[in-house]
Structure 1
Amino acid sequence: MVILPPVRPPRITEFLKPYVLKMHFTNKYVHAQVIHSPTATVAASASSQEKALRSTMAITRDVAAAAKIGKILGERLLIKDIPAVTVILTREQKYHGKIKAVIDSMKEAGVKLL
């Protein structure tokens, strides 16, 4: 008689989406990047610190700058054929202000948020 090992439930990592949005806000700049979590590489990023963007923005740290960064990041994701991104907010981050501006402008650019 052969006793089979117990069937394990699938690991949680199998249900996670591969692309995750990370945002970072400083007193001067807005940074957003999408990370491919299985390989831990940056798939696309946008920052108000980039030279080409800094000249077009009057202020690089407000909600309008965050909206512009989200739009640019969404366009860069669609160019790389990444249609959907997972948004994981930390405990300190609330869906308000700059975070809302980045996420909403990515939605308007055509990226699905999971």
Structure 2
Amino acid sequence: MVSKVSVTRRAGRVRRKLKSVANGQPRLSVYRSSKNIYAQVIDDVKGRTLAAASTLEKDLKGKLKTGADTDAASAVGKLIAERAKKAGVEKVVFDRGAYLYHGRVKALADAAREGGLEF
């Protein structure tokens, strides 16, 4: 079992590296639970969320079989890319948090790239 301290350290390590290469770009942050997946585009300079999407939204929830598979992650990735572009964001840095770049996290990232976000 992985302790909460090690997960927090891993996420901090990833974010520390991201902030050094971000050069003021917003970051696309991913949170993955056992039942859903969430994504936010965050401007760390101003401390504001520019766009957000998750599998809990009414328009996605009806279409998806479950919120915890790669199809759901792809749908959230496309939606976050669309909303980020509407907010005027073209380039982001990808913040995978403490999660490995695999499975649902990778599916979300690939769908966001297909939707037009650059990272």
- TM class, shorter-chain normalised? 0.7 to 0.9
Shift of 1:15: 5.7
Number of residue equivalences:
101
Q: Write the deviation string for residues 37-96 of structure 1: whole angstroms up to 9, x where unpaired.
A: 111110000000112210111111111100110001001111111101111334x32211
> TM-score, structure 2 length as denominator?
0.77
Any gaps of 5 or more consecutive residues in structure 2?
1-18
Match of 1:99 in 2: 105
Instruction: Give the distance between the partners of 2:56 and 2:43, measured in 1 at CA.
Output: 22
Shift of 1:111: 0.8
Q: Percent identity?
A: 28
Match of 2:93 in 1: 86
Any gaps of 5 or more consecutive residues in structure 1?
1-11
Select 2:78's aligned residue among 71, 89, 100: 71
SS at the partner of 1:84?
Answer: coil
Which structure shows the bigger proportion of residues in strand conformation?
Answer: 1
The AA in structure 1 aligned to 2:106 is K
Equivalent residue runs for 1:14-53 within 5 Å: 16-53=23-60
Q: Which runs of 4+ in 1 moved over 6 A?
A: none
Structure with the bigger RCO (C-alpha within 8 Å, sep 6+) is: 2
Shift of 1:13: 6.5
> TM-score, structure 1 length as denominator?
0.80
Which structure shows the bigger proportion of residues in helix conformation?
Answer: 2
Instruction: Give the distance between the partners of 1:35 and 1:53, measured in 2 at CA.
Output: 22
The AA in structure 2 aligned to 1:45 is A
The structure number with the bigger radius of gyration is 1
SS at the partner of 2:34?
Answer: coil
